[in-house]
Structure 1
Amino acid sequence: MTAFPLRYIRLSCSFLFLILIFTGTHRLFAQSKKTVKKIVLDAGHGGKDPGARGKMSNEKDLTLGVVLKLGRILKDSLPQLQVVYTRNTDVFIELKERGNIANRASADLFLSVHVNSTAGRREHVQVGSRTVGKGRRKRKVPVYKTIIHRETATNGTETYVLGLSRNAEKEKAIGEYGETVSDEPGLLDESDPTTAMIVAQYSQAFLSKSVNFASKIQSNYTRTGRNDLGVKQMSLQVLANSAMPGVLTEIGFINNETEEEFLNSESGQQQIAMALFRAIRSYKYDIEK
């Protein structure tokens, strides 16, 4: 029997998996593309994963607050639209499971809510010296301290659809002080050939509708006076795992003190939830008209 390299076996298995997933996806999408009967609301992070941290709050609590408010608005104003939550309490849900929840529900739309944070600038400052060595080799060497200058001016909202073009600032933030890999929604490995296949299959089925939805979200944020940072593409795992149109929206910057206060306020969360509701209602109308 011919022995194939492990990387080809992995690629073949991944390709077969994609065929099985997206064959079913296209069938489902063809049947329900003219209706939006069910939406999955995904509050980012949760439980042991706090997400980005501010001076007074954690991302996981802000996303849950907005999602629960949005869910109540949808149930009151669009009772024909079924709402499914990936979480409605402070629990940890794996990224893959979030997509699985949406797929098992046969949802028509996926909305993941997150809070943004920007990385700080690192500066190494000499704070003293210390003696090393013995005898003739004894000498003083400088002692440095790393100071993080947190960038706090950035504000506004941005919404992501699945794609291969990563946002430079978000990518730079990974590993920086105050924002670890767990603060990120989760990125696919773009060096893996299967990532390109996943994105291509998803784009063929859902990209245009996802961009439509994302644009409506940003437009409704702008109507309330928020700074519009635009619709962008990123190789987000949570979107790649969900077989339906979907977006990930960043509702503000937790490291901006003014925005953090806004995100923690009842009026701020209600304003964001209403903007998302109007975008969902408009998207639903577009699809069903």
Structure 2
Amino acid sequence: MLRVTFLGTGGSLPTRNRNPSAVMVNREGELILFDCGEGTQQQMMRAKTGMMSLSSIFISHFHADHFLGIPGLIQTMSFMGRKEPLVIYGPKHTREFTELFRALGYFNLKYEIRGVDLKPGDVVEGDGYVIRALETVHSIPSLGYALVEDMRPGRFNRERAVELGVPPGPLFAKLHRGEPVEVEGKTVRPEEVVGEPRPGRTIVYTGDTRPCEAVLEASRDADLLIHDGSFADEMADWAEESMHSTAGEVAALAKDAGVRQLVLTHVSSRYSDDVEPIINDSKKIFENVIVAEDLMELEIPLRQE
């Protein structure tokens, strides 16, 4: 399972329909949070994502709408009896930011939290995936992130295995894991019955950014690109000045990268009642695009090839 829940999709200011930035990824029951704007814990409750299985938080940058939800969230988990450690990753000063919670006796947390400063190119290894830090272009130091699953074994050719004398059962699984098996005095090797390795899934989350080369390269053939889409194209000058992106700019990047699905988020409050300008500008260039809404969920399927 790879499920993405959009807990907060607003840009800079909360509106009655949109909380500040927060995106939850549930990968096989492990929860990974990208940004944590004000009110994120309530959104987690509304979406019923759970929070006690949260393993890590990845902060894109230290503008308030991307991290102010962390203090309340970590204390709620402490009240609920959390014992497992929590790691908070982000750009420079993340470790200092996290150490403040230990320094302030008010929090009195019952579990360990640890901050890790990342720089572009750093890789965080998970169970069956990695998360790569990407250089993004914003008004303060900022990072995007690419969650990339490990390669999967190729398709198992059952008919060929039977032809080679392998009986159905545990030996099938052993071959599929890449281990040779002995059958009636002969060796059957995995490459005889297993196809080429298949890619896992890739999700790219940009945080706030101008369109940039690092995001383009990380997004090539990605299953999902979640990109700053703050403005319609009519606001191109302001997007450039404020170091955000327009819908058309992001759509062009998504098309160039060959992404399978594009989701625009961090929507400016000027579009709180009507996102048609954003969706129209993007669809002129890239068809498979959605403007995110709070509590929207997406399931990312495994590829069949």
Q: Which has the higher helix share?
A: 1
TM-score bracket for the superposition, by shorter chain length = under 0.3
The two structures have a TM-score, normalised by structure 2, of: 0.26
Q: Which has the higher contact order (CA 8 A, sep 6+)?
A: 1
The two structures have a TM-score, normalised by structure 1, of: 0.27
